[in-house]
Chains A and B, each alone.
Chain A
Amino acid sequence: VRTRGRCGDSNAEEDVELQGVLQRSPQENLEAMLEARDR
């Protein structure tokens, strides 16, 4: 999971993604980052 640049009409798409982020627990966010780091 990396922050990426965006363009055009991707606001709604990003909002959906961020709404999903807000549903995740802090532990899940940390674990996702550590997994991404190891890839």
Chain B
Amino acid sequence: MPAREPFDPIAVLQALDEHGVRFVVVGALGRVIHGSGEVTDGIDVVPATGEENLRRLGLALDDLNARRRDQAKLDLEQNLARDPVLDLVTDAGALKIVPEPAGTQGYHDLRRGAIREPLGHGVRPSVASLADHARMLAAFDREQDIETLRRVRRLIELDRGASAVAAGHWNGRP
């Protein structure tokens, strides 16, 4: 069996933080943080696409020794203008830059529902909400995501039920 690529999500997130990059974590790692129970080898982020933020992102990618998985030249602005997903390999593992995930309008759309989640080592990235993760999975409309989407939706229902009980106005319906 081939060795798995290294994966240190904290190192990736620290590099982004150190350069003040504005981003939201999405995809499998975002769902894992919410408790989806998946296993993943990479991190997907949705960056703000303003010029200054992309400059900062470029510096963070330099620190992570990021290169394109297809070995083409990495030119952040040009690549993001052309490719819906920028698939990178870094010294800390796989990193996908996704300016506008399916079913969303990108960073500003996802940021509204995102929560800063403490992950240890002083890292507190913005992670897209479970509802937004469900929205993205539904928009992908992929067979392979059906079970994950069902589980994410159930987590949302249970969370809402727990919140309603905590607020003292649960109506008994799931």
Contacts and interface: CB of A to CB of B under 8 A. Distances in A.
Interface of A: 1-3, 5, 14-15, 18-19, 21-22, 24-27, 29-31, 33-34, 36-37
Secondary structure dominating the interface of A: helix
Given A3-B148, A18-B154, A24 B39 contact: no
Interface string B109-123: 000000001111000
A3 B117 contact: no
30 contacts: A2-B38, A3-B38, A3-B148, A5-B147, A15-B154, A18-B35, A18-B154, A18-B155, A18-B158, A19-B162, A21-B35, A21-B37, A22-B155, A22-B159, A26-B117, A26-B118, A27-B119, A27-B120, A29-B33, A29-B35, A30-B29, A30-B32, A30-B119, A33-B32, A34-B9, A36-B39, A37-B4, A37-B7, A37-B40, A37-B41
Chain B interface bracket (under 10, 10 to 19, 20 to 34, 35 or more): 20 to 34
Most buried by A among B9, B37, B117, B148: B37
B34 interface: yes
A3 B37 contact: yes
B21 interface: no
A2 B148 CA distance: 10
Nearest to B33: A26
Interface of B: 4, 7, 9, 29, 32-41, 117-120, 127, 147-148, 151, 154-155, 158-159, 162
Contact of B36 (A3, A14, A15, A19): A3
A37 B9 CA distance: 13
B5 to A, nearest CB: 11
Nearest to A26: B117
Nearest to A17: B37
